[in-house]
C-alpha cells in the first residue's frame, strides 16, 4: 500500500522568518555541526534542511551562488565554505543549532573552534569518493563527539554505498549501524536510478518523487529480504551493548520482530557512548534522504544535558541543566567566533554552558566588567533579537570588547562576582600555528592607518591569522594556514578598503626552547618574581590541574604554578594575572637564534612576592619582561623549528619509483607508509570488522570496472618540510604525465638539524 507520509513533507508553509518558535527545553536542543571533506555536499545538505524546516521559501544552490550559509562574496564566488555559519532550525518540536563548517584544510581552525561548542555532528561523505583525507582529519579531531554518517551523492555514477561504509569502518576505525540503505529503480535499459531508502528500523520503503512528495511503501520481495538481512546485522551489533535487545530477540528469535522503539533507544545509547555510528544515505542535490537524517539528529544525537561542559571548575547536572561552582545563578559561556557586520558591528558567537545570559547586562570577561546590549539568535546572516540565551544554546552578543576564546561570566542576581566564580575558565580553543607568511605594505604612507584598521578587524575575526612587525625593518608579515587562506585574507582586506602591496609567500619558521630555564628579578620597591620557560608538553593533560592556563597562540601557554593566597590581600588575583600575561607576551615574539617567534613554549610563574603597599599591578609588567629576557639571552638554549606536512600522493605503480625518489631526495621527505600500511596496526581489527560486516550489494558499480583504489593507484605517505612542497604540483604532473594527485596537511613544527639551520640562514628571509 502506498501512502503519503505527512511528517516528511515540509514542516512549515510560512515564509522565512515567520516560523513557530523552536523548543528551548534543554532536552529538546541539539547543537550539531556538519563536517566533511570539501565538495562532499555539506552546504547543499544544509540548504535542504533550511527549506524543509521552513526557514527558507526556496532552496539555495552552491553553483548559482545564492546559498544562505555561504553568504560571503568569496564563498559564493568560489563555491566553497570559508567560515562556519550558525543557524537555528526548528525540527519536530526540537531546536537544532546547526553549524556548517569548511571542508578545505586551509580553514581547519573554523572546524576546530566549532567542534569546541558542539554536542554532536553529522559527517557527510561523497559516495563516489568515499573517505577522503580531510574527512579522516576532522574525524580524528572530533573523536569524542557522538556522530552520524550521511553517505551523500547516491545518485551519481560510480556511487558506492557499501564500498563507502567499508572505508568508514576500516579507515576511521569505528563500528557502524545501518539505519537506512539505498533503494534503486531499474530503468528500461537496465540501469539503476537512486529513488529512495529502505528504513531498517521501521521496516518501510521511503520513495521520493518529483517535488516534495514522499511515499511509504510496505516491504515485499527483494526489499523485504534486504531489510531482513540488514536488521539481523543491526540487532546483532546492538546486542553487544544492550541486553534488552538480546532478551527481546530471544523471545521470538526473529530479527524482524524486535520493536522499532527498542532499536531506537539502543541506537541512541550506542551513539552517545561512541560504540558505533548510525549510517544514513541520500542525494541532497536531488532532495532525497534529508528528512530521515534530521529525524535521526533528534533521535540519536545528544542534548546539552548529555555533554558535560569543559571548564576548570566543579560541574553538576541538575534538572534544568548543568550548574557550575554549585551556583545555579551563574551563567558561563564561551566566545567561539567573531565576525564584523557592516551594519550591526562586531558580532560574537557564544555557547552558553550554564545559567541564563541576559541582554543589556554587565558581564565579566578576564576579570573585567563589560557592558553588553543586544543578544541575537542567527539564521545564517539573518538575526533574531532575543531577551536572553539559556544554557545549552548558541547565540550572539553584539560587542567589540570580546574575542575568540573568552570565557563569559554573568550572575542573574549579583553585579559583583566572588573570586571563586571569577576563576571559572572554559577550556581554551587552541589555535594552530600559521605555516605560510606574506609581507604587507601600504601603497602610500597615508594608507597605513586604513591597513592597520583592516588588519585589526581581520585578526579579530580569524585568530588563526597572525600579524608580526619586525622591530628593525618595520616590515609587516601576515601569516596563515595555507596559500588559499592568505588569498582569502587578501580579498577580505580589499573588502575592508585597505590599500596594500603584497610580497611573495614565505614559510613561517619558529624557535623553541630545548630545556627548562628559570630567571629571577627583583625591583627597587620590593617586588620579586621567578619565571620559567620550558618546552610545552605534547599532551596538555600532563600539566598540573586547577592552575591558571592561558593560550598565547602558536602552541605557547602561560601558567601560574603558584598558590596565590597572599596576593588577594594586596590586589585582585585576576588583575595580577592579567599584568603577568601582558609582560609575558613580548617574550615569545622573537627568539634569540634568528628572531623568529617562539613556538611550543610553556611560560611559568614559579613564585612572586608583592609588597603590601602596592596599589597597581603595572610595575610587574617590566619586571617579568626583564626576567624572561634574561632567559632569552642564552642563544644555545634555543633552536629553529620548521613546519612539516603529512603528504599523501596517489600514484600509479609505474610512477611510484620516480615519485618516491623525488620526495626523499629533492624534497628531504621521509616515507612513512605505502598503500595498505596507511591505517596502521591499531586499525587492523576494524579492517577485519569491515570484511565481516553485512553490507548491501552496490548495483551502481555493476557495470563499472572499479576497485577499492582508483585505477589500482597506491598511496605514498610521507613527512616533508613545507618549504620543499612549494611548487610541488607542476613537478608531480611532470613526473607522472598528470596521472598523480596529492594532498597535504600540517603535521607540526619540527626542530631543524644544524645543516638545515645553515640553509635557512642563507635564505632571503626576515622578520
454 annotated as belonging to a binding site for a ligand: no
* 38 labeled part of a ligand binding site: yes
155 annotated as a binding-site residue: yes
Grid cell digits, residue 567: 596576593
- 103 is an annotated ligand-binding site residue: yes
Strand partners, 407: 334
How is residue 428 annotated by DSSP?
A: P
41 assigned ligand-binding residue: yes
604 annotated as a binding-site residue: no
Tell me how far apart the alpha carbons of residues 649 and 35 are, in angstroms, rounded to a whole number: 23
Scan for cell 601557554, then name that residue: 557
379 is in an annotated binding site: no
How far is the CA of 700 from the CAs of 127, 128, 195, 229, 250, in angstroms?
11, 10, 13, 20, 37
**Crossing angle, helix 221-238 and helix 260-272, to 10 degrees?**
50
Cβ atoms of 282 and 264 within 8 Å: the answer is no
Distance CA 36, CA 344 (A): 31
Is 254 annotated in a binding site? The answer is no
153 is in an annotated binding site: yes
Check the annotation: does 94 bind a ligand: no
Residue 101 is assigned to a ligand binding site: yes
Q: Is 705 annotated as a binding residue?
A: no
R_g over Cα of the chain: 28
87 is in an annotated binding site: no
The Cα–Cα gap between 521 and 527 comes to 8
Q: How far apart are CA 40 and CA 104, in angstroms?
A: 11
Please report where in the chains the cell 579492517 appears, as a residue: 687
Cα torsion 567, 572, 573, 576: sign: negative
The angle subtended at Cα 670 by Cα 665 and Cα 671, nearest 5°, is 105
Q: Give the distance, in angstroms, between the CA of residue 320 and the centroid of all CA atoms in the same chain.
A: 28
Instruction: Give the E-state strand segments of 153-222 in sequence order.
Output: 175-178, 180-186, 192-199, 204-208, 214-217
> Does 152 appear as a known binding residue?
yes
> Looking up cell 583504489, which residue turns up?
709
Contact 2, 67 (CB under 8 A): no
C-beta atoms surrounding 317 within 10 Å: 11
Q: Which among 444, 500, 514 has a CA at the least distance from the CA of 467?
A: 500
Those residues whose C-beta lies under 8 Å from the C-beta of residue 111, and which sit 6 or more positions away, are 33, 35, 84, 101, 102, 138, 141
Dihedral of alpha carbons 692, 694, 700, 703, sign: positive
Q: Is 743 annotated as a binding residue?
A: no
Q: Specify binding-site residues.
A: 36-43, 100-104, 152-155
Report the binding-site residues for GTP. Answer: 36-43, 100-104, 152-155
Amino acid at each position: 500500500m502506498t501512502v503519503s507520509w505527512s511528517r516528511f513533507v515540509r514542516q512549515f508553509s510560512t515564509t522565512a522568518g515567520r516560523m513557530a518558535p523552536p523548543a528551548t527545553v534543554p532536552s529538546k536542543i541539539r547543537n550539531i555541526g556538519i563536517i566533511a571533506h570539501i565538495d562532499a555536499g555539506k552546504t547543499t545538505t544544509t540548504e535542504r534542511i533550511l527549506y524543509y524546516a521552513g526557514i527558507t521559501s526556496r532552496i539555495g544552490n552552491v553553483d548559482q551562488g545564492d546559498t544562505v550559509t555561504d553568504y560571503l562574496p568569496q564563498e559564493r564566488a568560489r563555491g566553497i565554505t570559508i567560515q562556519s555559519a550558525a543557524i537555528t532550525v526548528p525540527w519536530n518540536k526540537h531546536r537544532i543549532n546547526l553549524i556548517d563548517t569548511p571542508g578545505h584544510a586551509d580553514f581547519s581552525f573554523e572546524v576546530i573552534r566549532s567542534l569546541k561548542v558542539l554536542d554532536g555532528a553529522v559527517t557527510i561523505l561523497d559516495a563516489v569518493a568515499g573517505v577522503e583525507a580531510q574527512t579522516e582529519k576532522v574525524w580524528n579531531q572530533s573523536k569524542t563527539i557522538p556522530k552520524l554518517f550521511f553517505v551523500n551523492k547516491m545518485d551519481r555514477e560510480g556511487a558506492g554505498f557499501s564500498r563507502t561504509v567499508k572505508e568508514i569502518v576500516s579507515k576511521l576505525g569505528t563500528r557502524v549501524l545501518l539505519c537506512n540503505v539505498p533503494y534503486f529503480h531499474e530503468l528500461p535499459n537496465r540501469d539503476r536510478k537512486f529513488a529512495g531508502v529502505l528504513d531498517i528500523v521501521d521496516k518501510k520503503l521511503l520513495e521520493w518523487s518529483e517535488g516534495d512528495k514522499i511515499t511509504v511503501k510496505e516491504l515485499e520481495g527483494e526489499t523485504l529480504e534486504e531489510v531482513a538481512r540488514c536488521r539481523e546485522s543491526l540487532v546483532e551489533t546492538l546486542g553487544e551493548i544492550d541486553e534488552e535487545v538480546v532478551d527481546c530477540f530471544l523471545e521470538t528469535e526473529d530479527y524482524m520482530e524486535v520493536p522499532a522503539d527498542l532499536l531506537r533507544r539502543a541506537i541512541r545509547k550506542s551513539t552517545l557512548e561512541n560504540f558505533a555510528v548510525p549510517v544514513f544515505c541520500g542525494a541532497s542535490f536531488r532532495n532525497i534522504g534529508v528528512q530521515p537524517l534530521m529525524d535521526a539528529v533528534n533521535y540519536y544525537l545528544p542534548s546539552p544535558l548529555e555533554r558535560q561542559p569543559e571548564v576548570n571548575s566543579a560541574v553538576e547536572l541538575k534538572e534544568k541543566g548543568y550548574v557550575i561552582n554549585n551556583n545555579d545563578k551563574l551563567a558561563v559561556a564561551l566566545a567561539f567566533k567573531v565576525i564584523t557586520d557592516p551594519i550591526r558591528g562586531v558580532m560574537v558567537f557564544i555557547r552558553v554552558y550554564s545559567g541564563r545570559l541576559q541582554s543589556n547586562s554587565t558581564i565579566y570577561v578576564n576579570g573585567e566588567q563589560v557592558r553588553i546590549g543586544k543578544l541575537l539568535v542567527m539564521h545564517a546572516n539573518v538575526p533574531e533579537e532575543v531577551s536572553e540565551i539559556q544554557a545549552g544554546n548558541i547565540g550572539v552578543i553584539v560587542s567589540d570588547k570580546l574575542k575568540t576564546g573568552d570565557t563569559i561570566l554573568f550572575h542573574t542576581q549579583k553585579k559583583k562576582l566572588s573570586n571563586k566564580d571569577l576563576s571559572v575558565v572554559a577550556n581554551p580553543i587552541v589555535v594552530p600555528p600559521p605555516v605560510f607568511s606574506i609581507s604587507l605594505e601600504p601603497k602610500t604612507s597615508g594608507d597605513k592607518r586604513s591597513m592597520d584598521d583592516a588588519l585589526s578587524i581581520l585578526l579579530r575575526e580569524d585568530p588563526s591569522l597572525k600579524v608580526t612587525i619586525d622591530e628593525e625593518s618595520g616590515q609587516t608579515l601576515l601569516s596563515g594556514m595555507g596559500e588559499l587562506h592568505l588569498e582569502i585574507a587578501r580579498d577580505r582586506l580589499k573588502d575592508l578598503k585597505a590599500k596594500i602591496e603584497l610580497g611573495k609567500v614565505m614559510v613561517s619558521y619558529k624557535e623553541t626552547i630545548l630545556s627548562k630555564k628559570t630567571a629571577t628579578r627583583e625591583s627597587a620597591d620590593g617586588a620579586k618574581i621567578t619565571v620559567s620557560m620550558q618546552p610545552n608538553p605534547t599532551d596538555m593533560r600532563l600539566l598540573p590541574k586547577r592552575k591558571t592556563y592561558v593560550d598565547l597562540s602558536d602552541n605557547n601557554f602561560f601558567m601560574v604554578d603558584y598558590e596565590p593566597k597572599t596576593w588577594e590581600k594586596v590586589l585582585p588575583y585576576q588583575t595580577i594575572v592579567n599584568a603577568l600575561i601582558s609582560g609575558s607576551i613580548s617574550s615569545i615574539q622573537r627568539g634569540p637564534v634568528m628572531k623568529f617567534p617562539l613556538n611550543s613554549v610553556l611560560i611559568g610563574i614559579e613564585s612572586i612576592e608583592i609588597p603590601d603597599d602596592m596599589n597597581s599591578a603595572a610595575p610587574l609588567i617590566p619586571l617579568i619582561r626583564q626576567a624572561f629576557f634574561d632567559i632569552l639571552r642564552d642563544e644555545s638554549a634555543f633552536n629553529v623549528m620548521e613546519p612539516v606536512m603529512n603528504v599523501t600522493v596517489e600514484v600509479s605503480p609505474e610512477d611510484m619509483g620516480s615519485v618516491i625518489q623525488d620526495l626523499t631526495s629533492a624534497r628531504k621527505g621521509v616515507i612513512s607508509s605505502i598503500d595498505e600500511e596507511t591505517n596502521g596496526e591499531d586499525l587492523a581489527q576494524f579492517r577485519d570488522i569491515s570484511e565481516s560486516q553485512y553490507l548491501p550489494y552496490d548495483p551502481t558499480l555493476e557495470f563499472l570496472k572499479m576497485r577499492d583504489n582508483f585505477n589500482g593507484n597506491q598511496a605514498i605517505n610521507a613527512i616533508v618540510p613545507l618549504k620543499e612542497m612549494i611548487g610541488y604540483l607542476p613537478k608531480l604532473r611532470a613526473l607522472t604525465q598528470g596521472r598523480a594527485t596529492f594532498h597535504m596537511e600540517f603535521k607540526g613544527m619540527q626542530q631543524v638539524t644544524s645543516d638545515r639551520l645553515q640553509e635557512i640562514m642563507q635564505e632571503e628571509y626576515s622578520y
